[in-house]
Chain A
């Protein structure tokens, strides 16, 4: 028997996921424009793998396949994996990563809505630990033709020195270990207007998509704001303290995966904090840890590790930040 309410808002999980995919398009367009169309191949490989893995796991788990396989959540994971990885990783690495995300991180924990960790970031961490060299080869903007990208993705051809350069964050890291200061480093060809050359446009695309998500109320302001503020404030403190040794907050916001993370990764509702205050704490924590890894850790980019570390804290954060209920303000909870 159906009980009240008898009417429902025309909303669905598919619609939420579709909004996320739509919001990624400006960033992807900028990606194709600046780096090359290879990313589209990666996106396709990742998407097909993700949906296939989803169908396989659902049937193994004896769950209704059609509805869950078409909810687009697997495609969102696939796109985030592809966009977080270098665009010239071999195809099998993308497939492996997506399988880790969908099979292990998502379905072994109970499927959609049950995974305590962000699937895309867990896959990223697995791969960067397992294949550090493949995962650190990023093409320089405009340096790699589509043909070459295709060759790199589909196999063979691994003489990369000519076409890849260290990323903006990587160059900064290694440069600072020497005698150079931040100012000099940022003058080099690796860097463009704000961050890595070409990459600031992609970051801009993600920002645009993020605003779309905010406007459609798919995400709330708490998570992106918390993350960007966490990253900016932490980097700002170090920058003010020693501007020769630490890059400016603006550089950190425009570089690496910061914008992708702000609007598409820390905003994963399943593995993230849910209360308004909890979201701020969770996201700011990611920003803080990501900066500390970037500046002092073993990896040039730290967002993925930061996300997983904060995922662990989510139950505690949610428990300790339960908002006061209507009529209970001033109670022990507030």
Chain B
């Protein structure tokens, strides 16, 4: 057991608002009329559709095949008929469309065949493939494929289970830990085995005493070094790097993975999904999420992936003054551009927002460099400096001041007394830098292509020349052979007789050319007017008189060279 906690600098304490939904136990959400299952899972990975419209599928049946290293499989969330394979809007601030499989449930919710996976008897690769094929991704929100994260099987000392849930309003992990602690720990022991970790540390914010108690009780029956640690409730304690810092003291820099420092971190929901996938062979077709905010009946629901948000909102009954619906927490979530979008694996919370709960920000005032943002920044940046640089489009300087270490947690915007939307400036600066990088790499590619084209043309030309030369040599050789066979002496005499006048002609031409060339050699002392010539003569005379120049100097010295006679 470890006793000592570390702290990260910065952080904020917004009102938690957990009480609204924390006491509502997890219920299964009713089946919607249609399930819209996106094949796109993140910006990096899309699954390949393997079903066609009209096909009947069973719950847990694979409908999308993993593609690429970061891909995972996609499954039918319930039994029913595939009615369409087409473009539907995604739960994303952009509101862009993506390829989705639309399934009409048959109401039976019948599982496809699935067996427990004997991961003790399987190789690592087989186990990781099983996780990939069960569609297991991180359920904390980032939806990073778990099999990729587990790929490094050695050098890891500590497995951290993230039960911090630091965003206000969200309680789905809290409920999951209270109700399914044993399954979570079973998943955690599997994960621990897969990454070869010695220690298992579970971090839970101390505003969830019931979850801590439940996890502690369940941890009692788990072998090995297991610790359930209550950590201070301070947003963003649930950020992976912040949690690792609090529990182990290790600071993972930007661009580095926990694995490089002997630590791996998984969300409690992910551990639960891993357990279901290996102990029961169940693919990830549903997740627990919180419905809360400006609603009559906040709660926590087990929701099938692909369920439209609008369908879920009927369960919690948003109040009439609701003006927006947020996905995720109020610190890092986003307002949904429309409500017919489906729940995805990263959806942990839907918040109905009202002007009273989330008032529009007061008008922006000038930055007074008070440094509140720097005190709140968990990445220990100087946010106001980044703000000035981003505002001035001084992106190089922004990068120099570690813009990319910003985790966009929103603490700086939260505390700013001038109400400056600081995070938006960093998002802007980052996207500009990426755009420029892309442009630059496109330009680099174009240049490379152009240079290669030149190289290729050059090479082709050389090859052609070589070929021609070879051919000419061949012809000459043939001719020589022919000559050799012909009667020799007479021909030779004739040719030498012919050649001599030719040589003389050439020599004469060369001589002419040479003479011509010399004649046209331009001099600035040629074609001078008589006046100028006279002047020059006078100057020379004066010089000689002044003994500046030795009159006896040989021709070719500057004074004499100037005279036109010597050059002609």
Which residues of A does B touch, CB under 8 Å?
1-9, 11-13, 15-16, 64, 67-68, 71, 73, 111-114, 220, 269-270, 272, 274-275, 318, 322-329
Contact = CB atoms under 8 A, between A and B. Distances in A.
21 contacts: A3-B334, A5-B330, A5-B413, A5-B423, A8-B413, A9-B12, A9-B415, A11-B416, A12-B418, A16-B417, A112-B368, A113-B367, A113-B369, A274-B371, A274-B374, A274-B384, A322-B382, A323-B380, A323-B382, A324-B380, A327-B256
Contact of A326 (B241, B335, B369): B241
A114 B366 contact: yes
A12 B417 contact: yes
A13 B384 contact: no
9 smallest CB-CB distances across A and B, nearest first, come from: A327-B253, A5-B410, A113-B366, A11-B417, A327-B251, A6-B330, A6-B358, A326-B379, A5-B331
A325 B380 contact: yes
Contact of B414 (A9, A114, A220, A272): A9
B333 interface: yes
B378 A326 contact: yes
Interface centre among A1, A7, A68 (most CB of B within 10 A): A7
Contacts of A220: 371, 375
Contacts of B405: 325-328
A318 B374 CA distance: 13
Contacts of A1: 335
A110 to B, nearest CB: 9
Contact of B326 (A6, A9, A13, A113): A6
A7 to B, nearest CB: 5
A220 B372 CA distance: 10
Contacts of B380: 323-326
Q: Could you say which interface size class chain B belongs to?
A: 35 or more
A68 B252 CA distance: 42
B410 A269 contact: no
A68 B372 CA distance: 20
A326 to B, nearest CB: 5
Contact of B370 (A7, A64, A269, A329): A269
A7 B368 contact: no
B330 A326 contact: no
Contacts of B14: 7, 9
B367 to A, nearest CB: 5
A327 B249 CA distance: 11
Interface in B153-201: 168
A68 B334 contact: no
A4 B402 contact: no
Contacts of B330: 4-7
A112 B382 CA distance: 20
B374 A327 contact: no
Contacts of A13: 365-366, 368, 417-418
Contacts of A269: 368-371
SS of B interface (majority): loop
A4 B331 contact: yes
Interface centre among B331, B333, B365, B385 (most CB of A within 10 A): B365
Given A6-B326, A111-B366, 15 more contacts: A1-B335, A2-B361, A3-B334, A3-B421, A3-B427, A4-B333, A4-B410, A6-B333, A6-B353, A16-B368, A269-B370, A270-B368, A270-B369, A326-B378, A327-B251
B360 interface: yes
Interface in B5-20: 8-9, 12, 14-15
A327 B335 contact: no
B410 A12 contact: no
B487 interface: no
A328 B254 CA distance: 8
B541 interface: no
B237 interface: no
Interface in B205-262: 241, 245, 251-254, 256
A71 B365 contact: yes
Interface centre among B93, B326, B418 (most CB of A within 10 A): B418
A16 B370 contact: yes
Interface centre among A16, A113, A318 (most CB of B within 10 A): A113
A12 to B, nearest CB: 5
B489 interface: no
B121 interface: no
Given A5-B410, A13-B418, A275 B382 contact: yes
Contacts of B402: 325, 328
B460 interface: no
Nearest to B333: A4
A269 B417 CA distance: 13
Contacts of A328: 253, 402, 405
A272 B362 CA distance: 26
B302 to A, nearest CB: 26
Nearest to A5: B410
A280 to B, nearest CB: 14
B381 interface: yes
Contacts of A9: 12, 14, 414-415
Contacts of A324: 380
Given A9-B414, A220-B371, A326 B251 contact: yes
Given A3-B334, A4-B333, A7-B14, A329 B251 contact: yes
B530 interface: no
Contact of A8 (B375, B419, B427): B419
B386 to A, nearest CB: 11
B331 A7 contact: yes
Contacts of A322: 382, 401
A88 B99 CA distance: 78
A113 B391 CA distance: 14
Nearest to B411: A5
A131 to B, nearest CB: 31
A24 to B, nearest CB: 18
Interface centre among A68, A111, A325, A329 (most CB of B within 10 A): A325
A5 B254 contact: no
Contacts of A64: 363
Nearest to A113: B366
Interface string B344-370: 000000000100001011110111111
Contacts of B374: 274-275
A57 to B, nearest CB: 13
A220 B376 CA distance: 13
B417 A274 contact: no
B424 interface: yes
B332 interface: yes
A5 B374 CA distance: 17
A67 B361 CA distance: 14
Contacts of A7: 14-15, 168, 330-331, 358, 414
